[in-house]
Structure 1
Amino acid sequence: MKLTKYTHACVRLEKDGRALVLDPGTFSETKEALQGAQAVLITHEHGDHVDVPAMVNALRGMDGLAVFAPEGVAANLRKEAPEAAARIHTVEPGSSFEAAGFSVRSFGGQHALIHPQIPVVANIGYLVDENVYHPGDSFIIPDGISVRNLLVPIHAPWNKASEVVDFVIGVRAPRAFQVHDGLLNEMGLKMVEAHVTRMGAKYGTEFTHLSTGETVEV
């Protein structure tokens, strides 16, 4: 399977001539990421994880494109693109389904707390092919699952470096790559990633930084 990193939280997975995109948001190269994709997984409703106008255009212009998302996101997309409603699916935590030929399991349920006065929205983490785990905006660890490739939210208004490190230690995946890095400059990114690299290695995780547009085999 090939994994391609896009700006911030978006990644694209490809195998057997099919493509699955996760979190094509407003910070990402959404049009490029969606090119030729058969399915999209969306973790939650925030704009940096779902570019609604771009998704509506994709649903209207790409026959067969399927979208899987929490109910709030799914309902909004059905409202904006009613002609594609049958291809927009609601995902609940603890479910299993197939998308674009990939097997998917869902975890979590809620976005991490930003502030007590900011409402908490639904958030779904996705494990794809028992291989790649994208937690969205949360540090939910899949229970009873050995994750092979972990996507780490490296920086956000809702996290701090110690929590990022603890998440990597808790999952203990052999390999990890950063996501949710669009709010850090180069110096800040290097600093946080250095902590993750050093501490993760003590628990068997090899962390690798991926540049925008870079592709790796997973």
Structure 2
Amino acid sequence: MKISKYLHSCLLFELDGHKLLFDPGKFSFAEGLVTADMFTDVSSIVITHIHPDHFDLEILQSILAVANANLYTNSQVGEQLTKSGIPFTLIEEGEIKIGPFTLSAIPVTHEALLDNPIPQMTAFVINNKVLYPVDSLSDELIDYKGIELLLMVTMAPFATERGIAAFADKMQPRQILPVHDGYAKEFFIKQRYTNYKKHFEKQGIKFHEIYDVGASVNL
């Protein structure tokens, strides 16, 4: 299974010829470094919640215009899709098979934001190997302690570096792929990654320093 990062939390999973895309949001596409044409052969798209850095209707429509992809999401995002006449499959809790991928959907609580309502959000475990907690640092996910790969928020308005590291320390994954950093300058991202890498290496956890658009890891 190959996992490629297209800035922020836009992630492409590839296995046996099937391409599964998560959260193509505004932060990934804002500077033109990521475009819809990069995803012409995507088979499936999953949207985890309604926040614009994870879901943007125009960006999604531009991908659907070039890719014959099936769409999966929760009720709150689904309301917006229905208004635009975009078909989707509802996925909020439980297991679903998408091509060679088995996804376990987990309702989780988004971390609190200043003067902002809490959205409906769905975390995922992919093929029993990868945990995508999205924007949650909650003990709701402790059942997945020891997972092979954690897709870890590395910076956010709702979290501190210490709080993020504390969550990952609890989860004790074997590996970490950093996400949710699309609004920061590269020099700052590299600085933060250096800190995280040092912290997690002490525990024998591999921290993948992913910077370039489309850079990937393999499981």
Q: Paired residue for 1:92? A: 92
Match for 1:127: what amino acid?
A: V
- Structure 2 residue runs of 5 or longer lacking an equivalent are 29-33
Alignment of structure 1 residues 35-74 onto 2, 5 Å:
35-59=40-64, 61-63=66-68, 65-74=69-78
Note the residue ranges of structure 1 that are not aligned, 5 or more in a row. Answer: none
Give how far 1:59 is off: 3.7
Does structure 2 conserve the Cα–Cα contact (< 8 Å) formed by 1:108 and 1:140?
Answer: no
Q: Give me the whole-angstrom Cα distance separating, in 1, the residues matched to 2:2 and 2:48.
A: 20
Name 1:77's counterpart in structure 2: 81
1:217 pairs with 2:218: yes
Q: Among residues 120, 123, 136, which one is paired with 1:122 in the alignment?
A: 120
Helix, strand or coil at the partner of 1:144:
helix
Deviation per CA, 1:148-206, whole angstroms, max 9, x where unpaired?
11111111111110011112212111111111111222333233223321222233311
C-alpha distance in 2, partners of 1:107/1:199?
28
Residue of structure 1 in register with 2:103 after alignment = 104
1:27 and 2:27 are equivalent in the alignment: yes
Letter in 2 for 1:191: Q
Q: Secondary structure at the match of 2:143?
A: coil
Residue type of the alignment partner of 1:207:
F
Q: Distance in 2 between matches of 1:169 and 1:143?
A: 11
> For the residues of structure 1 that align with 2:50 and 2:123, how far apart are their CA atoms?
13
Q: State the one-letter code of the partner of 1:72.
A: Q
Aligned-pair CA distance for 1:144:
2.7
TM-score by length of 2: 0.88
SS of the residue 1:123 aligns to = strand
Distance 1:190 1:69 in 2: 32
**Counterpart contact for 1:25–1:48, Cα < 8 Å:** yes
Which residue does the alignment assign to 2:31?
A: none
Matches within 5 A, 1:131-210: 131-140=129-138, 142-145=141-144, 146-210=146-210
The AA in structure 1 aligned to 2:15 is K
